[in-house]
Amino acid sequence: MALRQIREQGDEILRKKSRDVNIDDITAAKNQNLIDDMLETMYHYNGVGLAAVQVGILKQIIVIDVEDGKGPYVLINPQILKTKGEKECEEGCLSFPNKFGKVIRPTEVIVEFYDREGNKVKLKAKDLLAQAVCHEVDHLNGVVFTDLVLPGSLEYVSPKD
């Protein structure tokens, strides 16, 4: 496993749409190594989620850990099938260090994806997990959280020394 460099605000790759992973290639070593590296990178930077595009790879792979005892979640080729409700959430992003803002996200989503073993999975995600799924799926489509921030709510928090 290795730490990957996180692409930050202004990097044009963050605006590109990620490509589907070929189902036959999900368990290939290169994809498994990428997943392991993404998990290590996410944990190292204290993130809740990370999309492959954030480490410069245009593949539909995301990792999420909301510390619910069920994670980490690995979602390959995720498709949000249904959303329910909405709430205002405080959000940040590893690609936008020290920036935070309020966005509107669904309170619940149903997402279908392949796990890292290539199994098709359908997951009902609520609250923080639903928020993280939406945030990371947005990344796969070239959408960043600052695109969705409610006017006047974007803040820059000075890093602690």
Q: Which of 135, 44, 140 is nearest to 90 (CA)?
A: 135
Angle CA 23–64–80, to nearest 5:
60
Rg of the chain in Å (alpha carbons)? 15
Q: Which of 40, 86, 88, 136 is catalytic?
A: 136
How far is the C-alpha of 8 from the C-alpha of 82, rounded, in Å?
30
**Helix H segments across the chain?**
29-44, 127-140
Residue 63 pairs in a beta bridge with 50, 74
The question of whether 136 is a catalytic residue gets the answer yes
Q: Which residues are catalytic?
A: 136
